[in-house]
Structure 1
């Protein structure tokens, strides 16, 4: 028995050696399609080149290319074409006996090609969104240390994001709140991309999206153009990849997020494809086998994409994203685990959408999508001390979304992006909130809400992209939205510019007005809330970027966001309503709200990013910012996300084609908090904040090191990827919040992740 671990190590080592010995004889292939980025028309005769192997090919009449019998490994793939910017795509992984599909788009250039050779390559930008945009490829997403396969955690290293609680996926962007973020997959809006979401917000602890289905991510941290509305802080654009159009591929995996698999294959003789993923959490199954009953949350998700080419000009795609969350905890387990609340919670959500891409001709194209989303919540929350029912929430929320966006090229100096969208909402609320003491110790009477809530929103937008001379782009835009709920029309002018100072240096700037409706879970509570204004912000961004070398880029941005017309509660004059979801994990009922709240955030951000040109990649970022608000009494307070300074360093090293090592270290100033009024808290047996010291104290500074090692095993017709990641490697005790222990009636603290090893495995065949 004692020899089994040794035998197992010998076996694994032997497999490793055998696999390594075979790699020199193992090959795969790379295929894809190259399109014009402005018209989506195929490009004929594009040079596709693998510098490491000194081999390549050109695209055919359909814009397609094929590189067969490529030795397994990681490569840079170079695309060049007369009249277009040359690009280099790093981290192209060739796997044994499999096809790596890589579709790309080339941008036409209006300056001489010699100047573009250095400037292009590893970084790209769109003319309509030239500022505050960061893109990630599939491989960058998959291998990110500290991400755990979660797309939201991948961007935690960016300087625009506050570091408040690493046990949540809260995207707190430039002083905003998780309420203010939007998510789109293939032109289709997804209300929330997390399991166990907070109703009315975008946060949650674990992501839904399977990164193995993602082709790329584009994160807009501010200054986004008029094609997006009803969001104040950020937009995340995700693109699902297409499935294999030639053969059927299968992948099995197990990771931090659960176990599951992916299957993909061709449709209609290669005219289409499908890719489907299914996953489920497994910690509850392990505990069941151990006969442990601790109310472990369970979750599952199913998602996929189907694509079919009707003709050369028409393509249809369907995506579906489904998730299911459940938690059942009894009072005894809650007491044993020091949980103040226990729950019987069930949640379902599904978004299904159809997107139609129509290529008009060489002058433009359009995308039109129609989608339906439902979110069903059935949850009861009880007070652990006496089993008192606190909240009974039965809600069915449904949306039908229609979105159309068109791109028209009038000439080299003039382009137009325009479209419309509409959202039809039907929400059924059957909610009961028992009487309780709020954070200030005030008695709040019970409230029952039983109503069906129907409303709609509609909007239109246009962006004019002007290029009066080479190297300069000016993009004025205008958006108008009508909100039926409060009978309000909002007009949002936006403008951005980009000026190339020389071949490697660019200056950017933007200004915009942004509106967002009050979350309906709040607005539906009282008929009087129809008089609330839509919160708005004025955003200014100035940026500077310079290519330090072909694969390394420096970016500096200054921003200022001025918020107005936020809802505030006169009974809680020093609290900020949009931050309540993060403080209490839900929006509680309010009897009175007025639109007099204001806020401001401003800061400077610096990023140095190096793409994987050879062996090494990395990112260093830092920011200094200040975020404040004024409540009902117009006194100024720091917002609960105000870290003031953030610093991140992350990177990776690939010594060979089999191994990869990476790390991420984050450091941030302590977030503000309001201390307890201890005498009132002891008396109430519940945390009561000291209103006279609102957000006057600071948590200890946050810092954490995440490390990761990946190992690839290539076999004759399959590939095995094994990785080990360690979160918070030196076991720093980071404090998320100071809390009140209602079980023992004493002060306590909520900790972030301790030292957490994470093992993952992917098997492709």
Structure 2
């Protein structure tokens, strides 16, 4: 019923906005905000004798002459003026959002250029939407999961899958520096903090496929994050039941030096304790991140980005009861635990970047970074399980309890896994604009050295009714208790390996962009190629072959001279993914140095439609895509842990349709509705096509913001996600051709309410204590509003008496309440 209600609600929302209008005149429209991202009313927007006034939502619209340079002037009685230079074509509509300030100096002139990111097919996410989005794991990734084509079935994880790819197929950059995740994490609740500090973010760009050659060698997506450069001293703090953060901006008197430093603390106890497994859970997730900028003159700029994080995950399970089965035959799994898990993930990251602007048309960059991680995963957990029938008699004293055990067993899991990794990068990049301003050249070359020291000692013993279960790879007749078993007693799983691996990589790219007109239509052409060479060496392994791949990529965009603001894009190219360390290690922990790069050919056809509805800007983005993949390195996915087979014995494909409608459904706020359909399958050694572990067919997402007209201080933020079930319900190490079971559909609604104490602060008298704050708000959040039971994996329990094997869902978090306090100076 809840699923039907959600789909019906989405249908009503979409139909309520099905009629929209389009103005045929050339015009500029947008929203004027203050430095607190609040709409500014009564701003005068003028050009010569023409003028327009912003309304209470900060919205303005003004017609301007086409095909000539126009100077727009934004003035306000208490804010400094802004001047903007713009030139539009006949019937063109341009969105220009302005931020005005009453303290810091403004630019004398703002030159508006083409929307480059729109041409490249980049989704732009505002930092404000990220900061206010209610989510159990708040951050950039939680907003990404509401976009079409992006899927995740774990609210405790920051990892995400894009258009049929897995978690390892996504590029993440911060200030053009590639960042990495810990390697040994197997559960979302172990992850702690995302690398990106939301309070430091200025721009967030995301591409779900068909991206340009300037981005790296991954097959699925690019998340490109830019941290801001401080303009003055500022302080931001946040505290909640899940942790807190403190961020400070500093700038020198001569404006040449600036610095942001942020400290974050995270405690997932509130979320984990809502799960069915009763635990003693003592996590500590903490990180310190800082960026230092130095600009001695107009030509040179320098920056250093540093991050230190330490995650301690101490986990002691106690008991668990999960009810499943049918109404006529309810069954329960009871588990009693002994032992504990002790994991630590400690990472250090430092990156240096310098930019030299030779002139307005030529710039050069040098980027170097070092990433060091030390990880340990130690656990000894002994579980005794009872599989029994549940009393369903209403009025019975034992209602809901297990009254008859039909199966018993034990399970012992042991691990002593250690990993030490050091990754060093050095890169040179250049960008050039040719004299006619139509041709753009970008290039870069990068050297990477990766060193891994890895020890894997992991085994599992399973006993059912006193009978040891052999591993699935051993097929020895066993008809106990009728005849004695004479075969070997071995663990159900046993992995032991020690690896010392070095990987040397040289990669580079060159791309050319060209923009011009076909008649009255604008078009942009981009063509580029990437090259990547690598070799795997190490102690006790044979040196791998020296391998090289080339990845040509192209994009073409066309903006017709129509009354409707349409943009069409076609992207295609080769996307090679040379193996990283985890892709070289097979399911038994052994490194295979000659694993080839996986290859994917992307075909992406998309359309952007910008329009005005109720005098507010909206955009509908539609993308159809097809990916053909060869040399596929197949894998199993359990929770968030990926185990590769370290071969290239499969081919695969993925195709789908993504749609996203975003705009101001409520004046002055940004919201969006998204829909995605996707299908991905693989064929291993010509056995036939089966669903890949990330084959999530349907996706609905809503991120909605609102406020109460009679109580404007009260804000509402809603995050809805519905995903159909993943094919992740089969036992670990099972033959995927024997098991194609799917988990139940993922349904989740998170809602947040925020009371902004500093709303309409400009109306308060000078000296009022709230005037000291840019923002001060108290929030109340409800995670998993409808208390849906979402499963991340299945636990497989064997009953020797009935010879059945039961898949018991491992449920995620239930409904959780949180209180949050935010302050900015």
What is the deviation of 1:188? 0.8
Which stretch has the larger CA shift, 718-727 or 222-231?
A: 718-727
Structure-2 separation of matches of 1:652 and 1:166: 20
Residue of structure 2 equivalent to 1:230: 217
Which stretch has the larger CA shift, 434-443 or 540-549?
A: 434-443
- CA change 1:643–1:447 in 2 (3 A) is closer
The answer for unaligned runs of 5 or more in structure 2 is 1-32, 38-50, 61-72, 322-333, 384-409, 463-468, 475-491, 537-544, 759-769
Structure-2 separation of matches of 1:743 and 1:457: 51
Residue of structure 2 equivalent to 1:672: 727
Residue of structure 2 equivalent to 1:739: 795
Structure-2 separation of matches of 1:314 and 1:508: 36
Which residue of 428, 435, 438 corresponds with 2:453?
428
Structure-1 separation of matches of 2:796 and 2:105: 53
What is the deviation of 1:528? 7.1
Residue of structure 1 equivalent to 2:757: 713
Which stretch has the larger CA shift, 499-508 or 732-741?
A: 732-741
Structure-1 separation of matches of 2:127 and 2:627: 31
Residue of structure 2 equivalent to 1:380: 378
Which residue of 422, 426, 433 corresponds with 1:402?
426
- Larger helix proportion of the pair: 1
What is the deviation of 1:761? 1.0
Residue of structure 2 equivalent to 1:646: 699
Which stretch has the larger CA shift, 528-537 or 486-495?
A: 528-537
Partner secondary structure for residue 296 of structure 1: strand
Partner secondary structure for residue 179 of structure 1: helix
Q: Trace 1:60-209 onto structure 2 (pairs within 5 A).
A: 70=78, 80-83=84-87, 87-89=95-97, 106-108=111-113, 124-126=115-117, 130-131=120-121, 133-146=122-135, 148-192=137-181, 197-198=185-186, 204=191, 206-209=193-196
- CA change 1:183–1:755 in 2 (3 A) is same
- CA change 1:691–1:420 in 2 (3 A) is closer
Bigger Rg, structure 1 or 2 = 2
Q: In the TM superposition, what whole-angstrom CA distance separates every residue of 1:616-651 from its partner, at most 9, and x where no partner exists?
A: 432111122111112245321112222211122332
Residue of structure 2 equivalent to 1:253: 238
CA contact (8 A) 2:186 2:641 kept: yes
Kindly indicate whether residue 605 of structure 2 is the aligned counterpart of residue 542 of structure 1. yes
CA contact (8 A) 2:207 2:222 kept: yes
Kindly indicate whether residue 554 of structure 2 is the aligned counterpart of residue 495 of structure 1. yes
Per the normalisation by structure 1, the TM-score is 0.77
Structure-1 separation of matches of 2:76 and 2:290: 28
What is the deviation of 1:283? 6.0
Q: In the TM superposition, what whole-angstrom CA distance separates every residue of 1:273-326 from its partner, at most 9, and x where no partner exists?
A: 1111112234669999xxx98033221111121111121111111111222111
Which residue of 468, 473, 494 corresponds with 1:442?
473
- CA change 1:707–1:30 in 2 (3 A) is closer
- CA change 1:269–1:599 in 2 (3 A) is same
What is the deviation of 1:208? 3.7
CA contact (8 A) 1:148 1:257 kept: no
CA contact (8 A) 2:85 2:110 kept: no
Cα RMSD of the aligned pairs, angstroms, is 4.1
- CA change 1:208–1:104 in 2 (3 A) is farther
- CA change 1:361–1:623 in 2 (3 A) is same
Residue of structure 2 equivalent to 1:594: 647
Q: In the TM superposition, what whole-angstrom CA distance separates every residue of 1:205-237 from its partner, at most 9, and x where no partner exists?
A: 652422111112101110111112221101101
Per the normalisation by structure 2, the TM-score is 0.72
Structure-2 separation of matches of 1:55 and 1:640: 46
Structure-1 separation of matches of 2:287 and 2:52: 38
CA contact (8 A) 2:307 2:348 kept: yes
The answer for unaligned runs of 5 or more in structure 1 is 1-27, 33-47, 57-64, 110-123, 568-575, 677-686
Residue of structure 1 equivalent to 2:627: 561
Structure-2 separation of matches of 1:221 and 1:399: 26
CA contact (8 A) 2:729 2:793 kept: no
Structure-2 separation of matches of 1:103 and 1:178: 45
Q: Trace 1:306-321 onto structure 2 (pairs within 5 A).
A: 306-321=292-307
Structure-1 separation of matches of 2:59 and 2:642: 59
- CA change 1:287–1:103 in 2 (3 A) is farther
Which stretch has the larger CA shift, 234-243 or 329-338?
A: 329-338
Kindly indicate whether residue 224 of structure 2 is the aligned counterpart of residue 219 of structure 1. no
Structure-1 separation of matches of 2:52 and 2:254: 28
What is the deviation of 1:252? 2.3
Structure-1 separation of matches of 2:207 and 2:813: 28
Residue of structure 2 equivalent to 1:462: 510
CA contact (8 A) 1:294 1:333 kept: no
